[in-house]
Amino acid sequence: MEREMGDMPMAIPAGIPGHLVVDFDVYNPTPDAEGFHRAFVDFQRATPHPLVWSPHHGGHWIAVRGQDVHDLYADHERFSSRHYFVPAAPEQMPIGAFTLDPPEHQPFRAFLNMGLSPRIVGSKTAFVRQFAIDLAEGLAGRSACNYIAEFADVLPLTVFLDLVELPLADREKLGTFAEIATRAPDPAQRVEAINGLAAYLQPHLQARRGRGGEDLLSRAANADIGGRPISDIEALGASIHILGAGLDTVSSLFSFVMLFLARNPDHRRALVENPELIPAAAMELVRRFPVVTMVRQVRADMDFHGVALRKGEMVAIPSAFFNLDETIYERPLEVDWTRRVDRVLTFGNGPHRCPGAVLGRNELVIGLQEWLKRIPDFSVAPGAAIPVAGGTVAKILDLPLVW
């Protein structure tokens, strides 16, 4: 059957109950950057069903309730991580632990955990802080900047390239690949971007084969997979996972956080006057501004909350539906520096929880500390357009700030 969805008719597959069909785009719920997260809350509040079907992006299910989303992240026995986007790209190459399910996932995850251990992350703290200071001091003498291009993209990408020992001069090129791989709506474009990362990485991996090294790419190039050496294609996929995860998520989080602080001087002033609040405040900001929407693929026909799911169907699990679920956090859209934040889905859950979560949180804390010391009062440039793009990781693309 066909149903009108906005301005265009969408074909609804046979067997999809009509009362579960919704016109909701999990990647682009609104073009309004400042209302981006509210759109998820409004949809969740208005939707009586725990599972609904959207005809966008090739057609897929959406888990709506926060606890279901949280549980689906970890339920690898019924829901596979083989694909990370809708619509799925059948020709997508395996991307290390990111697109593997346990138990095959474990040896790929092991070297990630070692390369992002507390010891290694801690050893980078001084570098992160000094670079954040340099960036903020370089901007403080001015009266304006494009925050995304001049801070949000630069800090985490530079820190990550240092961590994997890749040339800092390649930051912009790699950032472009990551942008397309996480936000391009066309599966062919995403595959092309992944192939571009693969072509870039191959010579770097070959150079590290058979050599020691604690950086993540050296670990990927020389990993032990169940008692055998990792293959070239496996090392390449694992390295693409490492780069894709490290090049974009923290930058995207920064974009929403700084838009909020620019628009809310009382919240900003509280952090400026009480900088000891910043570490806990960072977790509240991570909760309030979830940027990740993962998907899972149904592994076998099943009943889920009374809905018949078929093998191969895709289920979207937006982290916003957990972080902003009012049954989990009261007043979910309100930023409260005194709130106790116990659980968030921004960095995932279960076997695929982001191994770089500690590094990402540290970057956010340090970035806020050093920026607010030097640029305590700032706002969005009058009349500025604030474009937002959704995808696996949502991001504000431009944020002109003035002070």
Write out the DSSP string of 112-126: HHHHT-HHHHHHTHH
- The answer, yes or no, to whether residue 4 has pLDDT greater than 60, is no
Give the C-alpha separation, 264 to 259, whole Å.
9
Angle at 79 between CA 74 and CA 81, to 5 degrees: 80
Rounded to 5 degrees, φ, ψ at 309 are: -100, 145
Confidence at residue 354, expressed as pLDDT on a 0 to 100 scale: 85
- The answer, yes or no, to whether residue 218 has pLDDT greater than 60, is yes
Mean pLDDT of 367-386: 97
- Cβ neighbours, 10 Å, residue 46: 10
- The answer, yes or no, to whether residue 342 has pLDDT greater than 70, is yes
Across 124-133, 237-246, 358-367, least confident range: 237-246
Give the C-alpha separation, 317 to 306, whole Å.
18
Q: What is the mean pLDDT of the chain?
A: 92
Q: Is 45 exposed, middle or buried (0-12, 13-18, 19+ CB in 10 A)?
A: exposed
Length of the chain, in residues: 403
Indicate the pLDDT class of residue 9, thresholds 50, 70 and 90. Answer: very low
Q: Which residues neighbour 160 within 8 Å (Cβ) at sequence distance 6 or greater? A: 246, 247
Can you list the alpha helix ranges (DSSP code H) found in 20-78?
A: 36-46, 66-74
Q: By percentage, how much of the chain surpasses pLDDT 90?
A: 69
Angle at 93 between CA 199 and CA 80, to 5 degrees: 145
Which single residue is written with the structure tokens 């009586």? 48
- Collapsed DSSP state (helix, strand, coil) of residue 210: coil
Indicate the pLDDT class of residue 114, thresholds 50, 70 and 90. Answer: confident
Mean pLDDT of 107-134: 91
Indicate the pLDDT class of residue 10, thresholds 50, 70 and 90. Answer: low
Confidence at residue 115, expressed as pLDDT on a 0 to 100 scale: 84
Mean pLDDT of 19-46: 96
Across 53-67, 238-252, 335-349, 361-375, least confident range: 238-252
194 within 8 A of 181, measured Cβ to Cβ: yes
Mean pLDDT of 8-21: 81
Indicate the pLDDT class of residue 22, thresholds 50, 70 and 90. Answer: very high
Q: By percentage, how much of the chain surpasses pLDDT 70?
A: 97
- Cβ neighbours, 10 Å, residue 44: 20
Confidence at residue 48, expressed as pLDDT on a 0 to 100 scale: 97
CA distances from 244 to 150, 163, 229, 389 (A): 20, 14, 23, 17
Cα end-to-end distance, the chain, whole Å: 55
Give the C-alpha separation, 66 to 148, whole Å.
30
**Per-residue exposure over 299-319, b if at least 16 CB sit within 10 Å of its own CB, e if not:** beeeebeebebeeebbbbbbb
Query: Which tops the pLDDT comparison, 190 or 128?
Result: 128
Mean pLDDT of 15-42: 96
Confidence at residue 212, expressed as pLDDT on a 0 to 100 scale: 78
pTM above 0.85, yes or no: yes
Confidence at residue 97, expressed as pLDDT on a 0 to 100 scale: 84
